[in-house]
Chains A and B, each alone.
Chain A
Amino acid sequence: MKSVFLTGVGGHGVLKLSGILADAALVAGFDVRKSEVHGMSQRGGTVVSQVRYGNRVRSTLIPAGTADALISLELLEALRALPCLRRDGLLLVNEQHISPAPLGPNKLPYPENVRELCEARVENAVFIPALRVARDLGNEKVANVVMAGAFSTFAREIPVEAWVHTIEAAFRPEHRELNLNAFRAGQCYTATT
Chain B
Amino acid sequence: MRKLLSGNEAIAQGAREAGALFASAYPGTPSTEILETIARQGDIQVQWAPNEKVAYEVAVGVALGGGRALVAMKHVGVNVAADPLFSSSYSGVNGGLVLVSADDPAMHSSQNEQDNRHLARAAKIPMLEPSDSQEAKDFVCLAFEISEQLDTPVMLRVTTRICHSMSPVVFDADAAFEPRPVRPYRRHMAKNVLLPVHARRRHEIVEERLARLAVLGESAREINRLHWGDRTVGIVTSGVAYQYVREVLPDASILKLGLTYPIPADLVREFAAGVDELYVVEELDPFLENEIRALGLRPVGKEVLPATGELDPDRVAAAFGIELGGNGLAPVDEPLPARPPVLCAGCGHRAAFYTLARMGLVVTGDIGCYTLGTLPPLLAMDSCMCMGASVGMAQGMEIALRAGSDHRRVVAVIGDSTFIHSGITGLINTVYNGGSSTVLILDNGTTAMTGHQDHPGTGVTASGVRTSSLDFAALCRAIGIRRVRETDPYDMDRLEAILTEELAAPEPSVIICRAPCRLVERLPLGRPAELEIDCPGCGACLELGCPAIDEFDGRSVIDPAVCTGCGLCAQICPFCALKVDTISRDPLPA
Interface residues of A (CB under 8 A from B): 9-10, 19, 22-23, 26, 31-40, 42-46, 57-67, 76-77, 79-80, 82-87, 99-111, 117, 121-122
Contacts and interface: CB of A to CB of B under 8 A. Distances in A.
B165 to A, nearest CB: 4
Contact of A58 (B247, B340, B372): B247
Interface string B120-138: 0000000000001000000
Interface stretch (B13-21, B149-157, B320-328, B469-477): B320-328
Contact of B546 (A32, A46, A67, A101): A101
B336 A63 contact: no
A65 B336 contact: no
B108 to A, nearest CB: 5
Interface residues of B, number: 64
Contact of A43 (B33, B317, B369, B450): B369
Nearest to B561: A140
Nearest to B162: A60
Given A32-B4, A39-B29, A60-B161, A86 B326 contact: yes
B109 interface: yes
Interface stretch (B61-69, B523-531, B547-555): B547-555
B246 A43 contact: no
Given A100-B337, A101-B545, A104-B542, A42 B324 contact: no
A66 B161 contact: no
B4 A44 contact: no
Given A58-B246, A104-B376, A9 B339 contact: yes
Nearest to B519: A42
B387 to A, nearest CB: 15
Interface of B: 2-4, 29-30, 32-33, 108-109, 132, 160-161, 164-168, 240, 243-244, 246-247, 312-314, 317, 324-332, 334-344, 369, 372, 375-377, 449-451, 519, 539, 542-543, 545-547, 549-551
15 contacts: A26-B4, A34-B4, A34-B166, A38-B33, A39-B29, A42-B344, A60-B165, A61-B312, A63-B324, A65-B329, A86-B326, A101-B342, A104-B377, A108-B336, A110-B337
Contacts of B337: 76, 100, 103, 107-110
B167 A33 contact: yes
Contacts of A22: 4, 166
Contacts of A10: 341
Contact of A39 (B30, B325, B338, B547): B30
Contacts of A103: 337-338, 340, 375-377, 545
Contact of B329 (A43, A102, A122): A122
Contacts of A39: 29-30, 108-109, 449-450
Contacts of B2: 26
A101 B563 CA distance: 12
A44 B339 contact: yes
A63 B313 contact: yes
Given A64-B326, A82-B331, A37 B164 contact: yes
Contacts of A102: 377, 542, 545-546, 549-551
